[in-house]
Structure 1
């Protein structure tokens, strides 16, 4: 049974490593596409403002994808032990959730800049996205508060 468990753990590490590598490649490709789109707009003598805003949005998403890839590599592949305590689990989940919150907030900011330059009535959608990001932050704070209180009530081992 120990051998089967060891094989399973090795397989999961390999799969997480492959996923992390694939996400890193996708992230780099997105940055390349963003640069290409801006270059193409400049070559075609199109207004650069919209191409640059789209490029910034793509780079922001690519950084969020890269952060997820980094998280997978650090937490699932390179980490030599499983989560042993509630505080470790809370810390890991917090890192991951913060990555998502940052990506959503940055995307909302990019949408605000794009909407403000096109049509002010479009500002409703980025405002909703900012609201979602705020709710995510409040949810994370509530989770941290409740989980730390629950951990304090656990008997010490």
Structure 2
């Protein structure tokens, strides 16, 4: 019982810290945009693209913190139903995939048309996002198949249980 409380507290503290870091990233992105507007000679387009990148990372970090808070600190239990675990993991991976795609898109714009060798990083990011989505699709398909098989087995055994439990009449 005490270990459970310590674990929940640790997850809550880590979650809060991640959320504060996400807020710090958003604040820094806003500061850099305002600073580039006020200082002559600063490229506003670069500042805006960097702000988008920081914001995307902040969203992903915040979502990780939210996930930890909801699933580990508040609920503090293992997911009993496969569908519940699948939904939770799908939501989490989807957020990460979106962050990867947005970061890849920002990196494409930062690399620009003139700096072709710099396109390797954004290309790898986009391919990573595609791999995440494909992996999520495979996971969804396989876990749904397992859920259906488990449900079918339970339903096929249910009538047998009822028959054995009913008292025999004379």
Query: Per-residue CA shift, 1:76-110, capped at 9, x if unaligned?
Result: 12226431122222222112111211110110111
Secondary structure of residue in 2 paired with 1:104: helix
Partner of 1:3: none
2:48 to 39, 48, 52: 52
| Pairing of 1:138-149 with structure 2 (within 5 A) | 138-149=134-145
Over 3 Å counting, the alpha-carbon distance change for 1:118 and 1:60 in structure 2 is farther
What is the aligned partner in structure 2 of residue 101 from structure 1?
97
Q: CA deviation at 1:60?
A: 0.8
* 1:39 corresponds to: 34
CA deviations 1:134-156 (Å, max 9, x no partner) are: 11101110011111112222242
How far, CA to CA, are the matches of 2:81 and 2:54 in structure 1?
37
Give runs of ≥4 in structure 1 deviating > 3 Å: none
Query: Given the alignment, which residue of 48, 63, 70 partners 1:67?
Result: 63
Deviation at 1:74, TM superposition (A): 1.3
Give the unaligned 5+ runs of structure 2. Answer: 156-170
How far apart in 2 are the matches of 1:117 and 1:9? 54
Question: 1:135 & 1:122 partners in 2: Cα distance?
Answer: 21
Distance, in Å, in 1 between the alignment partners of 2:62 and 2:122 is 23
* Bigger Cα Rg: 2
Unpaired segments ≥5 residues, structure 1: 1-5
Q: 1:118 to 1:23 in 2, by over 3 A?
A: farther
The corresponding residue for 2:75 is 79
Count of aligned residue pairs for this structure pair: 152
